[in-house]
Structure 1
Amino acid sequence: MKIILWLLFIVLVIITGQEAHIIQVNAGDQATLLHLEFTDFAAGKKILDCWRGITYGEGTLLSLAQSNTRTDFLFLITYTLLLISYSNSQMQQERNPALNNLLRLNLFLAVLAGLCDVSENLILLYDMRHAGEITRYVSSSWVSIAKWLLIGWVILIWLISLIRCRVMREKRTCYVSV
């Protein structure tokens, strides 16, 4: 299961990364998808207007950004499942009650991060759909910040437990599978 998730994760990173690179090369370093995730009203409208005005293939950079955001729905499912899978595996090995409970909490937080990403994508797609309308724009910055904080926390707790188990292997305080 993890191998399939990793393969899908890598393929999606390549696809979305290539699309994001195309947008960055054509629109500039200040008009990237990542900038749009964290920007305010004025800067967000400016990025969307920039994308609307640059043709790419049969459409515009805006249509490429919409495609990229739709692909991100599959990507977020993949990374959420990887976070859950690795936290669950480590939880099975962790004997320290506090770390075990934090790893258990990671299962919930990984899902919450995925839901934040869904919300972020829906906001971005709304903004892209209404790019030509002056008053319609919703910043996704707070949802994006929450998503990245949750992902960082889940990875941090997993790494702390993993390193602790590797260091304490000789003392038999963790079950370590090879």
Structure 2
Amino acid sequence: MELILLDDDSDANYEILENGTTVVSFDTTEVFTTLSDFKNFPNLKSLTLTDIGLSDIRNLADCKNLELLWLDDNSIVDISPLTSLKKLRFLSLCNNQIRDVSSLEDMTTLQYLDLEGNEVIDYSPLYGLSGLEILYVDVDSMTDSELEALVFALPNCNI
């Protein structure tokens, strides 16, 4: 398999896509903001779409092989499409508009999760993520009992 890393050089990226090359990683903040059909990228393992005003992530549900997903600094509210990403190990969702994280409760392959800068109202869906090693949350916005419960539920995790 050929490893292709796509960056912000839009001409080269579109040429690669038109030739049907196997894509393993996107790392861009502007080129693929209108990419609507991720079904064409079944081998995509890494995707970074930061600070592009992204709000609808439904099309990501087709990226079944994603292991790393960075969606920082967007306008995402609904993260339920992520439930189909069973291979996801690294997920960064900082600085979005996420309040409900219940969609993450069965994502047992997660090792890294960043939820800072969101307005999460209940962290209990994360209690079963036993593989989680690093978790970023807004500790200052949590009550002591909420933080204690999270630390107790995830004893092997740096919070």
Structure with greater strand percent: 2
Q: Which has the larger radius of gyration?
A: 1
Same fold (TM over 0.5): no
More contact order relative to length (CA 8 Å, sep ≥ 6): 1
TM-score, length-scaled by structure 1: 0.25
TM-score, length-scaled by structure 2: 0.27
Structure with greater helix percent: 1
